[in-house]
Amino acid sequence: MSSIKELVQSADWKSEKHVPVIDVADKAQKAEAVKITVTVGKEIAHPNTTEHHISSIEIYFLPRGEKFPVSIGRFEISAHGTSAKGPNTSTIYTQPEVTLNLKTEKSGTIYATSLCNIHGLWESSKELTVE
């Protein structure tokens, strides 16, 4: 049996549409919130249809030198075109882009995951230095 860590995929987001792209300043000030935006399909758009879509984005923060990550946001991406008339008929679609504000006095690593209903779980990470 394999571990879930073997199932999480990563790649360069400029060439792979499933990778969550983390936009955040490289440095933040203590006691000041820093804005984090995670987008899927930033360079190459991912399909957003009833049959094929991004269904969730999760964001974690691992303080430098610590073992356990802290969950800082879980987002369900839930509108993919369905209506009572059937698949792709509502014209209502949630785009896979989320923003939150993080307040931390510790430097560390931001991790993001995205889940495609067909192509599985993807990850990326970005360092954040707090001064």
Choosing from 16, 69, 73, 119, the residue that interacts with Fe ion (CB under 5 A) is 119
Q: Please name which of 52, 56, 53, 26 lies closest in space to residue 38, comparing C-alpha atoms.
A: 56
* 113 vs 21: CA distance, rounded Å: 9
Least distance in Å: CB of 67 to Fe ion? 32
Edge-to-edge strand order for the sheet containing 20-23?
20-23, 34-40, 97-102
Q: Residue 129 Cβ, how far from Fe ion at the closest point, in Å?
A: 33
Q: Minimum CB separation from Fe ion for residue 80, in Å?
A: 12
Active site residue 42: no
53 is catalytic: no
Would residue 80 show up in a list of annotated catalytic residues for this protein? no
Q: Closest-CB residue for Fe ion?
A: 116
CB of 100 to Fe ion, least distance (A): 23
77 near Fe ion, rule: CB under 5 A: no
Q: How many residues bind Fe ion (CB under 5 A)?
A: 3
Q: Does 40 bind Fe ion (CB under 5 A)?
A: no
Question: Rule CB under 5 A: is residue 116 a binding residue for Fe ion?
Answer: yes
Active site residue 18: yes
**Which residues of this protein are in contact with Fe ion, per CB under 5 A?**
116, 118-119
Active site amino acids: 16-18, 46, 52, 116, 119
